[in-house]
Amino acid sequence: MKLINKLLPIIILTLGFSGCSEFLEDEIQYTQEEIVVESRQRSRGLIDDIYTDYQFRYFTDFGVEYLTDNGVLNSEETDLATGYWGPTSNPYNYVWQQSYNNIRQVYQYIELVHDTGLPFLLNPSDAEENERVLARYYGEAFFLKAWAEWELLKVFGGPSADGEMLGFPIVNGILENEDYASLSRNTYDECVNQINADLDIAIANLPLTYSGTGGDNPGYSVEEIGRASGLAAYALKAKVALFAASPAFNPSNDISKWVDAAEKFHDVIELNGGLKSLSAFDFSNDDNPDHIWRMRSSLNNNALENRLYPPTLYGQGEVNPSQNLVDAFPSANGYPIDMTESLYDASTPYTSRDDRFYKFIFYNNDQCFTSESCTDFTALETFEGGQDNFGGFIKSEGTRTGYYLKKFLNNLDFDPAALNPTTTLEKVYVQLGFTDMYLSYAEAVNEAYGQPDVAPAGFNFSAKEALAMVRKRAGLNTDPYLDEVSANSADFKTLLENERRIELCFTGERFHDLRRWKNIVNIEDVKGVKITKNTDDTFSYQNIDVERRNYEAKNYYLPLPYSELLINTNLKQNQGW
C-alpha cells in the first residue's frame, strides 16, 4: 500500500483533468430565443419571415398551369395531367406542412412577443407609431394565419367518402408535437367561419391601405406596401366566399352563398372607391393601385427573363402557352375568333387580335412587347427550322407549341444580347388584385341573380359593368359582343369563364377554377401549331397534338398528403382518392 500512496498524487493529478469541466464548456455564439424575442425589432422578424413563403411564386404557378390546357413545359411532360394522378402525388403537397408551420409561427409570435407587451419603439414621442406598429403586426399575424388556412382550404377542401364537405383541421394555438397526428378535419363551413373570424381580427388591427409618408402616417405609410392590409383581408374574405359558393364545394347550389360572395366582392370594390378603370398591364409597376396585396422582388433579378425569353432573346423558353389558349384570345373587336363577326383570318392568325394576345404571348414573327406592330426585337422564328425552335439559335432549346410566354416579363429595358445583360426593373407578384375582384364579382352576381346587365338591389353596379372594366383595359372600348351576351346569363357565363382564363393565365388560377366549376373533366388536349415557312415568305399553320389531358371526377378535389394519412388515421381522404 506504500506504493499506492506514492502513486496517488500522480493519479489525482491526472484525474484532475476530469475536473476541467470548464474545458468542456464550449461557449458558442448561437442565436438564442432571448436574442430574438426580447429585442423590439428582431422579435417582429417572426412575422416578417412568414411573408417569404408567399412571394415570387411564379414557377410554382407555371407548374400548376401545366396541369391545365393553357400550356406545357418545354423540356418535360406533366404526367399528372395525362391521367396518371394517384393519391401519392399532389403538386400542392407542400401547402400542408408550410401552412401549419406558418400558423405555428404566428402563435409563437403571439405567445413569445405580442402577449408580453414588448414595445416596438421606446421613445414616448413615438407613442402613436409604437401603438400602430404593435397593432399592425398583430393584424398581420392573423392575416397570415388566415392566408395559410385559405391555401389549405383551397387545396385540400373536398368531400369525404361519405359525402360530407370537409376543410382542413383547424389549429388555434401550438399543440404538442404528438398531438398533430390526431387532428381531424373540420367541415368546410367551419373552416370558412374560422378564416373570416381571423380576418375580422386582422381588419380591426390593420390600416385599410398604406399611404402617405412615414412622417405623416407613421407605421401605415407607403414604405409598408407589401404587408397585409385591411383591404387585402376583405378581398380574401370575398375569395373564400367565391370558392364556398362554387359548384364543387356547394353541391346543393345554395344561392345564398353566391349572394354572400357577391356582397363581399362588392364591399371590396366599394372600399376602394367604387368601380374604377384598371391600370395598364405592367408587372414592373410597384405602385399599381389595382394590386391589393402584392410581393415584390429585389431589383436586377433576371430569373424570369432568363427562363422565359425565346432563344433569340437568349432565354430558355421554358413556358410554352398552348394553341388552345391562343385561340381563346378574341378578335380585336371583341368577338371570339370562331364567330363570323370576328376579324380573324386563319391564314394570318396573329393579326387583329385582342390586345392581351400581344402582351401575353410570344408568337411567330412577333417583334414587339406591347402591341401588334412595333419593333422591340428581331422577328421571332418559331416556324420549323427557325431560329427560335429546336435546332435553331440555341440548338437544344425550342417550343413544343409554337409559342412562348411573354406575360410578366419586363419590357426589354435591356439588350439580352449585350455583355452581362441585366434589367433594373423590379417585378411584382400579385396575390390579390382588382382584376380578379371584378371578374369574381361578375361571376358571383351572375350566379346569384342571373341578370348580368342589371345591378341587383343594394349593389351599385352590374356584372356586365364589372366585366366591361376588364375588357376595356384590353382595348375594347366599344364592346358589342359583351352587350350581346349580357342579355343571357348562360352566354355571359361562357364569356366570363373565357375572360378569366385569359386575364389570369399563368397565375395558377385556372386549375382551381376548372376544379371549382367542375369543368376539369371536360378539359381539352393541349394543342400546338406547326408553322411552315413557304418559299414566298408566307407561313402555313397546322395544329398539332402536344400533350393529352385526362381528368376524372375525383380531380375536382386534390388528395391529402399520402404519408400524413398513414400517420394520422383520424384524417379522412377526399372522395375518389
Partner 1 sequence: MKLNITRLNVFIFFLLNAIAINVGVAQNTPLNSLADQDSLQVKNDDEILKTPFGVFNLSQTTGAVFRISGDQLRKTGGDNLSEALIGRVPGLRIIRQTNTPGTTGDYSYVLNGGTPYVLVDGKPRGLLVDLREVEEVLVLNDGTFNSSLGNFGDNGLIYVITKGGKSKKPVVEVNYQRALNTASRLPKLLSASEYAEVINRVSNNDGLGDVYSPEAIAAYNNGSDPINFPNINNQDTYLEDFSSSNFASLNTYGGGENASYGAFIGYSDWEGLEKVGSKINGRNLSFRTKINAKINNSLRAHASVYGKFGENNRPIIGADAMFLNITATPANAFPLKVGDSAYIVSNDFDTNLLAELENGGSRTDYTANMVFDIGLDFDFKDIVPGLKYDTYLMMRTFNTHSLITDNQPGLYTLENLQDIAGQDSLALKIYKNEVLDLDIGRTNQNNQRDFTYAGNISYIKQMTQSTLTLNLNHLLYYAPNRTATQPDNRNLTFNLNGSFALQNKYILFANLNSSSSSKFIGTNRTNFFPTMGFAWVASNEDFLKDNKSIDFLKFRTSFGQIGTEYTASTFLYLDTWAGGRNNGTTFLGTANIAQNKFGYSLSTTANEAVDWIVYNQMFAGFELNMFKKFNFSFNYFNIQIENQITKASELYADALGGDAYLPSLNFTDRRNKGFNANITFRENKGSFKYYAGINAGYNKIVGEKISEVPYPDQYRLQQGQAEDNIMGYISDGLFTAENIGSALPQFGDVQVGDIKYVDQNGDNVIDSRDQRAIGNQTPRLNYGINIGAEYKGFNLDVVGAGVGGYDINLGSSSYYQHRGLRNYYGSVNSDLPNGNANPRLSTIGSINNFKTSDYWLVNGSYFRISNVELGYSLPKKGPFTNVKIFLRGNNLALFSKLDDLDPEDMRAGFFEYPSMRTFILGTSLNF
| CB closer to partner 1, 295 vs 455 | 295
| CB closer to partner 1, 286 vs 465 | 286
Minimum Å gap between C-beta 242 and partner 1 is 26
Minimum Å gap between C-beta 429 and partner 1 is 9
| CB closer to partner 1, 66 vs 188 | 66
Residue 350 Cα distances to 332, 353, 354, 358, 403, angstroms? 10, 6, 10, 9, 12
| CB closer to partner 1, 299 vs 553 | 299
Q: How far apart are CA 528 and CA 65, in angstroms?
A: 16
Minimum Å gap between C-beta 370 and partner 1 is 22
Given a contact cutoff of 8 angstroms between Cβ atoms, the answer to whether 531 and 383 are in contact is yes
Q: What would you report as the CA-atom Rg of the chain, rounded to the nearest whole angstrom?
A: 28
Cell numbers representing residue 70 in the block: 393553357
Minimum Å gap between C-beta 210 and partner 1 is 9
Given a contact cutoff of 8 angstroms between Cβ atoms, the answer to whether 406 and 356 are in contact is no
Query: Could you identify the residue written with the cell 377526399?
Result: 574
Given a contact cutoff of 8 angstroms between Cβ atoms, the answer to whether 95 and 151 are in contact is yes
Minimum Å gap between C-beta 309 and partner 1 is 13
Terminal Cα distance for the chain, rounded: 80
| CB closer to partner 1, 35 vs 487 | 35
The residues, any chain, with a CB within 8 Å of residue 105's CB and separated by 6 or more, are 46, 47, 49, 50
Residue 488 Cα distances to 261, 299, 469, 498, angstroms? 21, 47, 19, 16
| CB closer to partner 1, 386 vs 452 | 386
Minimum Å gap between C-beta 259 and partner 1 is 34
Q: How far apart are CA 169 and CA 427, in angstroms?
A: 35
Minimum Å gap between C-beta 230 and partner 1 is 17
Minimum Å gap between C-beta 479 and partner 1 is 33
Q: How far apart are CA 492 and CA 484, in angstroms?
A: 9
Question: Exposed, middle or buried: residue 534 (CB in 10 Å: 0-12, 13-18, 19+)?
Answer: exposed
Residue 201: which of 140, 266, 265 has the closest Cα? 140
| CB closer to partner 1, 36 vs 255 | 36
Query: Could you identify the residue written with the cell 362588392?
Result: 266
| CB closer to partner 1, 104 vs 472 | 104
Minimum Å gap between C-beta 10 and partner 1 is 6
Residue 407: which of 370, 365, 442, 359 has the closest Cα? 359
Largest distance between two CA atoms of the chain: 119
Minimum Å gap between C-beta 98 and partner 1 is 8
Q: What is the 3-state secondary structure (H, E, C) of 122-167?
A: CCHHHHHHHHHHHHHHHHHHHHHHHHHHHHHHHHHCEEECCCCEEC
| CB closer to partner 1, 90 vs 250 | 90
| CB closer to partner 1, 155 vs 269 | 155
Q: Pinpoint the alpha helices (H) of 421-531.
A: 434-449, 463-473, 480-485, 489-503, 509-516
| CB closer to partner 1, 101 vs 522 | 101
Minimum Å gap between C-beta 200 and partner 1 is 24
**Which DSSP state fits 522?**
G
| CB closer to partner 1, 306 vs 489 | 306
- Residue at 277: amino acid letter: S
The residues, any chain, with a CB within 8 Å of residue 6's CB and separated by 6 or more, are none
The residues, any chain, with a CB within 8 Å of residue 545's CB and separated by 6 or more, are 525, 526, 527, 528
Residue 428, phi then psi, degrees to nearest 5: -110, 150
Minimum Å gap between C-beta 314 and partner 1 is 8
